[in-house]
Structure 1
Amino acid sequence: MSEVDDWPANAGGDVDVELLREQLVAWYERDHRSFPWRETTDPYRILVSEVMSQQTQLGRVESAYRDFLEEWPDVESLAAADRADVVGFWTDHALGYNNRAKYLHQAAGQVVDEYDGTFPESPAELQELMGVGPYTANAVASFAFNNGGAVVDTNVKRVLYRALDVPDSDDAFEQVATELLPGGESRVWNNAMMELGGVACGKTPACEEAACPWREWCHAYQTGDFTAPDVPNQPDFEGSRRQMRGRVVRTLRQHGPLTLDDLGPRIRVDYAPDGEYGREWLTGLLADLADDGLVEYDDEEARLAA
């Protein structure tokens, strides 16, 4: 019997960790969803997929990912691209916050300028790249180089919470996920854990339909309590501030510099200089975008940043 030190009481003593690992990996390798980023170990392509996947539905990501790589197939071509074009792509494909595109472009420049076009391989070094935090660094290190730590996303938290009764605590999730990770197998293990949460242990569990390999040990399956950790709901994109920010970038990209009162109606049809959605509202959007280095503006005109 292999046990993980200091696990929560319901997660530890009765679990044969080696068997649990074997069952999950075998389940994953028998059948799993096919995504293009699972068919490569190119760190550039994996970084692109990870940045795109942040709070974005995978169906939309897959199409955008293919289009992005047609435009910029490698890190050198992205580093050489005009940042406005990269941000414009992000906006056109509704991929969320435009600063992710900006950081991805900057990270490509770092790889080319500081690493001679060769990606660093360790999570610690990867975090030196713009916009790459611990989660993304672990994911790239795992899926590109097979030497990452545990990747703990919403799906993985849900699995650990339900199956092993891990408390709803980031520290506890990180601890147990790290202890579960087999040495030298971060690529297949992290993919398998995320697949389990995405296919068998979603918001509506599909234990039988997906032939969940952990039913024998699963606390939720045994008790019938399939509650899940609290996860903040992502606000609707339609009508959101981030949608409006994207419209500003797209409009300035299409039309060039515009006066504020020419720009406003192109962002909202109900724009009125002195209204609720007027100059004060518009300059708030422009200030956010200026902070991200995406636009420049003054009292009269807005333009994309040089």
Structure 2
Amino acid sequence: MADSADWTRPDDLEAVQGALIDWYEADHRLYPWRETDDPYRILVSEVMSQQTQLDRVIEPWREFVDEWPSVEALADADRADVVGFWTDHSLGYNNRAKYLHEAARQVREEYDGAFPETPSELQELMGVGPYTANAVASFAFNDGGAVVDTNVKRVLYRAFDVPDSDAVFEEAAETLMPEGRSRVWNNGIMELGGVACGKNPRCDETGCPWREWCHAYQTGDFTAPDVPTQPSFEGSRRQFRGRIVRTLGQYDEIGIDELGHRVRVDYAPDGEYGREWLQGLLSDLADDELIDVVEAGEETVARLQK
């Protein structure tokens, strides 16, 4: 692969663009958030899919927007209920639920309930970075920049010999995207990475529209940038953080030793997995403004923030 900032720009860029758009529009995976241009519902899908495979997001997404069908409804919700939903559906880090809830309140209070439309405005919302801002601006308003996730990097690296550099990936993605068509383009290139150009490419089987131009297809070299492996969930701090939040959802408040026994069968106050271990998790959750840890008489108790 190339080891400089150069990459193989296609001479017939319009043909490259048209081939991908035609391929996507002819057939693609059906997700409910692709059938709406409501920025609130699209933001929910983007936040949910940050740590969860798209197919596993469908039902939680539907349940979430049934429970809180608008940005106003989410802004009015009790934060503990939103975090509890996130935990119950194993949607990853609970602070994402907190940020989503806070973003809804920002839209209501700072934007008079009208969702910001540009990537720069969207990044003012809690927990919304450049990728999510471009995705929401694209899919809701057809006015975003190119999105670049792991799948898109893999496609660009293989197809156009783009070196493994975030800056060059961004530049290549913007160069390839046709002006005024960010909605269909970003959906299309992400679909290409998810369906045809995965870790094990399925070029012919899926009728990849870029075989004619693809460097990897022509050379047989389908290497790609390393994909970070997800740390094991079983036994992780993330798993026990989730257990703590679920347990606290059942009580107004609970002493930390009783909490410890409820979240870990081998909890022993003075043991390896004892108060020091538990207080580290509680401190993280308190820093994320998900729980409060307070002294109640002679006992330390924990409770969800309201």
TM tier, shorter chain? Answer: over 0.9
Equivalent of 2:6 in 5, 8, 14: 8
- Give the Cα–Cα distance (whole angstroms) in 2 for the partners of residues 66 and 21 of structure 1: 32
- Work out whether 1:35 is the aligned partner of 2:31: yes
Alpha-carbon deviation of 1:224? Answer: 1.0
- Work out whether 1:121 is the aligned partner of 2:117: yes
Tell me which amino acid in the other structure corresponds to 1:88: G
Q: Secondary structure at the match of 2:249?
A: helix
User: Partner of 1:155 in structure 2?
Assistant: 151
User: Partner of 2:56 in structure 1?
Assistant: 60
Alpha-carbon deviation of 1:8? Answer: 2.1
User: Partner of 2:304 in structure 1?
Assistant: 304
Tell me which amino acid in the other structure corresponds to 1:85: D
Matching of residues 197-216 of structure 1 within 5 Å: 197-216=193-212
- Give the Cα–Cα distance (whole angstroms) in 2 for the partners of residues 235 and 81 of structure 1: 32
Q: Would the aligned equivalents of 1:257 and 1:303 in 2 still touch at CA under 8 Å?
A: yes
Alpha-carbon deviation of 1:59? Answer: 2.0
User: Partner of 2:134 in structure 1?
Assistant: 138
Q: Secondary structure at the match of 2:25?
A: helix
Q: Would the aligned equivalents of 2:203 and 2:211 in 1 still touch at CA under 8 Å?
A: yes
Q: Secondary structure at the match of 1:303?
A: strand
- Give the Cα–Cα distance (whole angstroms) in 1 for the partners of residues 155 and 44 of structure 2: 26
- Give the Cα–Cα distance (whole angstroms) in 2 for the partners of residues 63 and 239 of structure 1: 26
User: Partner of 2:67 in structure 1?
Assistant: 71
User: Partner of 1:227 in structure 2?
Assistant: 223
Alpha-carbon deviation of 1:21? Answer: 0.4
User: Partner of 2:179 in structure 1?
Assistant: 183
Tell me which amino acid in the other structure corresponds to 2:265: V
Tell me which amino acid in the other structure corresponds to 2:39: P
- Give the Cα–Cα distance (whole angstroms) in 2 for the partners of residues 7 and 32 of structure 1: 32
- Work out whether 1:269 is the aligned partner of 2:262: no
- Work out whether 1:167 is the aligned partner of 2:185: no
Tell me which amino acid in the other structure corresponds to 2:301: E
- Give the Cα–Cα distance (whole angstroms) in 2 for the partners of residues 253 and 215 of structure 1: 52
Q: Would the aligned equivalents of 1:43 and 1:119 in 2 still touch at CA under 8 Å?
A: yes
- Give the Cα–Cα distance (whole angstroms) in 2 for the partners of residues 47 and 187 of structure 1: 14
Give the share of equivalent positions with the same residue, in percent.
72
Q: Would the aligned equivalents of 1:55 and 1:234 in 2 still touch at CA under 8 Å?
A: no
Q: Secondary structure at the match of 2:250?
A: helix
Alpha-carbon deviation of 1:240? Answer: 1.5
User: Partner of 2:248 in structure 1?
Assistant: 252
Output the TM-score relative to the length of structure 2: 0.95
- Give the Cα–Cα distance (whole angstroms) in 1 for the partners of residues 214 and 51 of structure 2: 27
Q: Which has the higher contact order (CA 8 A, sep 6+)?
A: 2
Alpha-carbon deviation of 1:7? Answer: 7.1
Q: Gapped runs of 5+ residues in structure 1?
A: 1-5
Q: Gapped runs of 5+ residues in structure 2?
A: none
Alpha-carbon deviation of 1:231? Answer: 2.2
Alpha-carbon deviation of 1:276? Answer: 1.2
Alpha-carbon deviation of 1:298? Answer: 3.6
Q: Would the aligned equivalents of 1:294 and 1:305 in 2 still touch at CA under 8 Å?
A: yes
Following TM superposition, where does structure 1 have runs of at least 4 consecutive aligned residues deviating by more than 6 angstroms? none
- Give the Cα–Cα distance (whole angstroms) in 2 for the partners of residues 269 and 63 of structure 1: 31
- Give the Cα–Cα distance (whole angstroms) in 2 for the partners of residues 236 and 53 of structure 1: 18
Cα RMSD after superposing both structures: 1.2
Output the TM-score relative to the length of structure 1: 0.95
User: Partner of 2:45 in structure 1?
Assistant: 49
Q: Would the aligned equivalents of 2:267 and 2:274 in 1 still touch at CA under 8 Å?
A: yes
- Work out whether 1:281 is the aligned partner of 2:281: no
Q: Would the aligned equivalents of 2:255 and 2:302 in 1 still touch at CA under 8 Å?
A: yes
- Give the Cα–Cα distance (whole angstroms) in 1 for the partners of residues 65 and 303 of structure 2: 27
- Give the Cα–Cα distance (whole angstroms) in 2 for the partners of residues 240 and 8 of structure 1: 41
Q: Secondary structure at the match of 1:49?
A: helix
- Give the Cα–Cα distance (whole angstroms) in 2 for the partners of residues 284 and 171 of structure 1: 37
User: Partner of 1:3 in structure 2?
Assistant: none
Q: Secondary structure at the match of 2:140?
A: helix
Q: Would the aligned equivalents of 2:160 and 2:213 in 1 still touch at CA under 8 Å?
A: yes
User: Partner of 2:102 in structure 1?
Assistant: 106
